[in-house]
């Protein structure tokens, strides 16, 4: 039996490598393309593959593997690092504390952005931990990196859970198309690195074509009860946590779009916005064919999205002054263009950003989603864990409207050292009593990716070295600052995914200084290294750009949320005297006459 299983594993890995080698794309040369490609290629005319899918993440600090190649790091003593689950349980509380200013749509939009920029290339179907029990090592895939669960675990031990499944990310060691430098593994991202709505349009021409109607520039939708919906996925039971085709599961440019009801709502809003734009452009320009309508609607949709990201959303979490100081926001004299596009800047998403720093926002997830009536009064809530990867609730009577208003008027959690039990114990439980631990996964994934130590990243960011536990306590949020010393053998063993996540806020942002350094670096490179960033010269005319700067999250939701008639002027913030609820008619619109 052992030999047969080992043979099957070897054949699987060999077929994966052979498949990758057989489908390596040809080296592409670029003309002066004036349109953003679907796979991100030729955005940079001198480096055609910068920002394209299936390439290694950028690495800001050299990888730290125990063997210098692939084996996850160990403590300086040579012993194993603490269990990721133990760290999560010991360091993080579970009290849900409502934010005093920000709404749930702000949190959910952050996940949408994260999915647009990064998606680790994993192997589906590999079992390292079956039914909570560890697969014997002799039967396990070499790509297994399960998370151990202690016998006295506060929640999982009562259910007999011994482990949580985790499969290691695909790397350059397994991919014949990726150049190998220095022999150490570099993980691959399977999506474009740009803020280009690849989650809506897909990451390749083939994928995009499967989402289009090829009529009047429209993307596919399905009409139900007189309303347009995201199209149904052709393979629901394999894609979503549903039992049969009577449940909802949607087809989009990103397979993760069904992960939570609110995420699905944002996907639907951007899809419907594309079709709304294409319809208006068709009315203004009857001679335009399907391809031109599609491409122009896509260009405008992406531009509006980028305006929301940089001018509405990022300042909330990174801090506007922090962004100005780091060059994340361009120095623009209105109504002029941004002039700092730099063809030497590689926009590739860094491993540190995708695997650690951007996961800081897991702290602000709300465990229960409020159902809010048109009167703004809550009428109950649903558990997030009841609907992971199952958006069926959206098509239950009145739930779409109630959840949409809940997303807009409900606060997200505070970014502190607490994380909702819904993702600490019950993530992806799919009807079972116990799920997995999101923060434990974050820590284990950082080990899988060979991220260096907390000290290494402080040094990279030009921050002072922390030389004692007392110094660490002064910069870490309480209470973990007082107990973190008991978790690690030495200060040098402290991991980036732990220390960086627990730092006190930096400047006018929410993350600590080390994570803020990584986040600011990425969003600067993402903008400055994008030839098609909407404010750059030659992307839109000056009059078109003036209109695009009117784009807002409020307008997007008003135009593309069933039954929404009024909204606060900035839906990322809770309603108050300076952010009142107004009729949708009062929200500024982008005048498409500039595209006539």
Q: Which of 150, 162, 159, 157 is nearest to 87 (CA)?
A: 150
Contact between residue 200 and residue 252 where contact means Cβ atoms under 8 Å apart: yes
Distance, in Å, from the CA atom of 359 to the CA atom of 497, rounded to the nearest integer, reads: 9
DSSP of 549-575, one letter per residue?
TT--HHHHHHHHSTT--EEESSTTB--
Distance, in Å, from the CA atom of 21 to the CA atom of 35, rounded to the nearest integer, reads: 29
Cα 591 to chain center, whole Å? 30
Q: Show Cβ contacts of residue 15 under 8 Å, excluding neighbours closer than 6 positions.
A: none
Cβ count within 10 A of residue 490: 11
Residue with tokens 């952050």: 110
The helix or strand, by DSSP H or E, that contains position 227, with its residue range, turns out to be strand 227-229
Distance, in Å, from the CA atom of 138 to the CA atom of 130, rounded to the nearest integer, reads: 15
Spans in the chain with pLDDT lower than 50: 1-22
Paired tokens of 581: 């609820």
Half-sphere exposure of 360 (CA within 13 A, CB side): 28
449 burial type by CB count under 10 A (0-12 exposed, 13-18 middle, 19+ buried): buried
- Among residues 99, 115, 267, 455, the one annotated as catalytic is 115
Q: Which of 549, 583, 578, 580 is nearest to 566 (CA)?
A: 583
What was the pLDDT predicted at 592?
Answer: 98
Cβ count within 10 A of residue 151: 8
- Which ranges constitute the DSSP H helices of 51-149? 84-91, 104-117
Distance, in Å, from the CA atom of 219 to the CA atom of 213, rounded to the nearest integer, reads: 5
What was the pLDDT predicted at 29?
Answer: 83
What was the pLDDT predicted at 33?
Answer: 75
DSSP state of 134: E
Is 274 assigned to a binding site?
Answer: no
What was the pLDDT predicted at 295?
Answer: 98
Paired tokens of 237: 């039971």
- Rounded to 5 degrees, what angle do the CA atoms 217, 221, 225 make? 135
Q: Which of 302, 267, 313 is nearest to 103 (CA)?
A: 313
Cα 80 to chain center, whole Å? 30
Indicate if 368 belongs to the active site: no
What was the pLDDT predicted at 125?
Answer: 78
DSSP of 29-52, one letter per residue?
------S--TT-TTSSSSSTTTT-
């Amino acid at each position: 039996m052992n030999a047969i299983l080992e043979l099957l594993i070897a054949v699987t890995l060999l077929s994966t490598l052979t498949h990758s080698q057989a489908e390596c794309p040809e080296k592409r040369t670029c003309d002066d393309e004036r349109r953003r490609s679907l796979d991100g290629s030729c955005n940079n005319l001198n480096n055609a593959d910068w920002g394209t899918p299936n390439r290694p993440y950028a690495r800001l600090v050299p990888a730290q593997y125990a063997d210098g190649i692939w084996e996850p790091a160990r403590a300086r003593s040579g012993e194993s690092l603490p269990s990721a689950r133990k760290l999560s349980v010991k360091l993080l509380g579970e009290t849900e504390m409502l934010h005093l200013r920000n709404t749930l749509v702000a949190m959910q939009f952050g996940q949408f952005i994260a999915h647009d920029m990064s998606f680790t290339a994993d192997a589906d179907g590999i079992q390292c931990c079956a039914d909570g029990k560890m697969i014997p090592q002799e039967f396990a895939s070499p790509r297994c990196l399960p998370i151990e669960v202690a016998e006295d675990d506060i929640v999982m031990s009562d259910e007999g859970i011994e482990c949580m499944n985790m499969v290691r990310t695909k790397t350059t060691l397994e991919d014949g198309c990726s150049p190998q430098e220095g022999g150490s593994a570099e993980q691959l991202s399977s999506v474009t690195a740009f803020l280009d709505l690849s989650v809506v349009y897909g990451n390749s021409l083939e994928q995009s074509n499967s989402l289009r109607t090829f009529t009047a520039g429209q993307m596919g939708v399905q009409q139900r009860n007189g309303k347009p919906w995201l199209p149904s996925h052709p393979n629901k039971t394999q894609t979503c946590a549903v039992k049969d085709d009577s449940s909802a599961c949607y087809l989009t440019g990103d397979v993760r779009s069904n992960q939570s009801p609110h995420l699905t709502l944002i996907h639907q809003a951007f899809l419907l916005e594309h079709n709304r734009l294409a319809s208006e452009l068709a009315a203004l320009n009857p001679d335009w064919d399907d391809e031109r309508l599609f491409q122009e609607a896509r260009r405008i949709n992406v531009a509006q999205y980028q305006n929301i990201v940089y001018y509405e959303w990022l300042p909330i979490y990174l801090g506007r002054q922090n962004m100005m100081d780091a060059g994340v926001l361009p120095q623009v004299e209105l109504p002029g263009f941004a002039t700092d596009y730099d063809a030497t800047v590689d926009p590739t998403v860094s491993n540190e950003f995708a695997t650690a720093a951007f996961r800081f926002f897991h702290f602000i997830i709300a465990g229960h989603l409020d159902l809010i009536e048109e009167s703004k009064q809550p009428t109950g809530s649903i558990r997030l864990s009841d609907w992971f990867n199952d958006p069926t609730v959206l098509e239950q009577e009145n739930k779409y409207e109630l959840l949409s208003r809940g997303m807009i008027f409900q606060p997200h959690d505070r970014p502190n050292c607490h994380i909702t039990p819904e993702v600490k114990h019950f993530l992806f439980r799919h009807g079972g009593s116990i799920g997995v631990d999101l923060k434990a996964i974050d820590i284990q994934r950082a080990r899988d990716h060979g991220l260096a130590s907390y000290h290494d990243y402080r040094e990279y960011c030009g921050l002072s070295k922390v030389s004692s536990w007392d110094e660490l306590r002064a910069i870490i949020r309480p209470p973990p600052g007082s107990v973190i010393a008991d978790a690690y053998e030495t200060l040098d063993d402290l991991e980036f995914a732990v220390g960086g996540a627990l730092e006190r806020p930096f400047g006018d942002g929410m993350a600590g200084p080390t994570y803020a350094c990584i986040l600011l670096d990425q969003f600067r490179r993402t903008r400055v290294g994008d030839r098609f960033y909407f404010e750059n010269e030659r992307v839109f005319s000056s009059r078109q750009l003036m209109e695009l700067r009117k784009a807002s999250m409020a307008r997007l939701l008003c135009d593309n949320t069933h039954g929404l008639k009024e909204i606060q002027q900035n839906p990322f913030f809770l309603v108050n005297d300076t952010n009142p609820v107004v009729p949708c008619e009062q929200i500024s619109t982008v005048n498409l006459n500039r595209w006539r």
